[in-house]
Structure 1
Amino acid sequence: MSTPFRLHRSDRHRQKERRLERLKRIPVRILLPNLVTLLAVSSGVTAIRLGMEGRFQLAVGAVILATVLDAMDGRLARLLKGTSRFGAELDSLADFVNFGVTPAILIYLWSLNALGNLGWIAALALAIACALRLARFNVMLDDPDMPAWKKGFFVGIPAPAGALLAISPMYLGFLGLFADGHMLAPYVLPWVVLVALGMISRLPTFSGKTMGSRIPREWVIPLLAGLVFALAMLIAYPWHTMLIATAAYVISLPYAVRSWKRHEKAQATAADEAATKENRPHQADAA
């Protein structure tokens, strides 16, 4: 009489083992975005070595590559449905290294070390601001009451943009406008501090994370042509292109603030209208 019971327990045990075995196997689609993140870290850390060797153009190129890889890993994870908590934490740590530590060291080696301790404090401010900005971003992700329109904005300058802005004086040096970055140190210091303040500020900036996965058919060819043209310009005239991109981003900041305020006003108006409609039945009952 006990045999069927033993067989039933054995079947359940085998099913449990198979379930645990499946949990131990990590899908490749989860590994690929993390691999891209690690490649970005490798590029960012290599930039530090290149900077210490005085090969600053290659170092900045490595930071730009890390920025491109950082933009790819999140989109790749969403495309492959391979997002995970581990990947999110890894991406945050990678961003601090690539866009906090690396640009701070590069701009210090290239220019700010001419100011001694004051220059080092400015470099530290940039790295610390990046850490604080990333921590605030991670906390805001857990806000369940965030309106949908706010997902189209960042609060403060995002870490990759902040890194490229902080090292933008180096682009001028690479174009031959200055023989030595140390000559620019008195001007680089306030610029780096300003970028650091922008990263930890409440300044709304545009986010590209909410760009749709689908685009109108008539925009496909112009978009592809524009991307190819931008890539060709970056390869042929890298520092001219980076300066133009930096200027375009700075120009976009006031437009982002205006768009944010417009959305806030629309949200407040909608809330007032909803409150008015809710109060009308009560007023009618009272009458």
Structure 2
Amino acid sequence: MKRFSTRRSDPNSDHVERVPFLQLVPNMVTLAGMCLGLTSIRFAMDERFATAVFLILLAAVIDGLDGLIARRLQATSEIGAQLDSLSDFLCFGVAPGVLVYHYLLTPAGGIGWIFVLIFAAATCLRLARFNVMSGKPQEDDKSSPYFLGVPAPAGAMLGLLPAFATLAGVVDFREAPLVVALWLGIVGLLMISKLKTLSPKAIKVPRRLIGPMMFATVIGIGLGFSRPWLFFLALDLVYLGLVIRSLAKARWRLFA
């Protein structure tokens, strides 16, 4: 997300350039998210895995807020866009990889670490591609059949799916580190792929499902407070279902 910019002050002038405080808010929010990602790594290394996962989730929420705040305050700039990408790489590429490695992949040793590196590299490539494409004219939804891979925050959530399942007590993936390693590799491929998929605007919900969907929302909120890890696991599985649906109809191409 592009954020604040200022004019250069005259080096021969005694005038001190000042920037409105509100112009700084989006970047301060982004830095707060970066701090959460870095702190998640610290807690993962201290084996406080539930806290580490929660901090990544909170960083994802902040990642959605900083762009919204920047647009509302009209405080967008190139430096903000780059800062956002660097924060995203730390929060959604490095932090989830380190967390999953310490929590689930330690028994796999070097093989597990290789897949962590693959996941982090895929996140980096996904963000770099986004930065390059954001400076080019974008096609409308009707003429552009591809989305540029799973977004970095969504990729982080998919990468954490084994951690959600383990914390929820559904499946203990600590007993299957090679499966977790392979899963990180698959998520990495999804982030650097192009999938032919329907635009969200094109998805229509049958009227008969509106009531059940509203009721499911209420159940989901209650589940989120009583069994939060099961709730996040369910959200992850729903999103994974949408990705699989896209794959089933896709002309799948690896990122180039």
SS of structure 2 residue aligned to 1:111: helix
Cα pair 2:112 2:178 within 8 Å, conserved: no
TM-score norm. by structure 1 comes to 0.70
Identify the range of structure 1 (38-47 vs 229-238) with the bigger mean alpha-carbon deviation.
229-238
User: CA shift at 1:182, angstroms?
Assistant: 2.8
Distance 2:215 2:78 in 1: 36
TM value normalised by structure 2: 0.78
| Contact residue 77 and residue 83 of structure 1 kept, 8 A | yes
- 1:66-105 to 2 correspondence within 5 Å? 66-105=59-98
Higher helix share: 1
Quote how far apart the aligned CAs of 1:234 are. Answer: 2.9
CA 1:197 to 1:103, structure 2 compared with 1: closer, same or farther past 3 Å?
Answer: same
Give the C-alpha shift of residue 24 in structure 1.
Answer: 2.4
Partner of 1:248: 238
Using a 3 Å threshold, how does the CA distance of structure 1 residues 206 and 29 change in structure 2: closer, same or farther?
farther
Give 1:174-189 correspondences, 5 Å limit. Answer: 174-178=167-171, 181-189=173-181
In structure 2, distance between residues paired with 1:49 and 1:237:
25
Match of 2:115 in 1: 122
**Structure 1 residues 140 and 227 mapped into 2: Cα distance closer, same or farther (>3 Å)?**
farther
**Percent identical:** 38
Query: Aligned partners of 1:84 and 1:205: how far apart in 2?
Result: 30
Secondary structure of the residue that 1:95 maps to in structure 2? helix
Q: State yes or no: 1:50 paired with 2:40.
A: no
CA-to-aligned-CA distance 1:115-172 (integer Å, 9 cap, x gap)? 111111000001111000000010111112x212279974101000101110110111
Structure 2, unmatched stretches of 5+, are: 1-8, 202-213, 252-256
Q: Tell me which residue corresponds to 1:173.
A: 166
On the 8 A contact 2:146/2:195 being kept in 1, the answer is: no
Give the structure 1 partner of residue 182 of structure 2.
Answer: 190
SS of residue in 2 equivalent to 1:203:
strand
Q: 2:140 and 2:245 mapped to 1: Cα distance? A: 19
Task: Please tell me whether residue 28 in structure 1 is matched to residue 21 in structure 2.
Answer: yes
Q: Please give the root-mean-square deviation of Cα atoms over the aligned residues, in Å.
A: 3.2
Matched, 1:38 2:31: yes
State the number of aligned residues. 229
Unaligned runs of 5+ in 1: 1-15, 211-223, 262-287
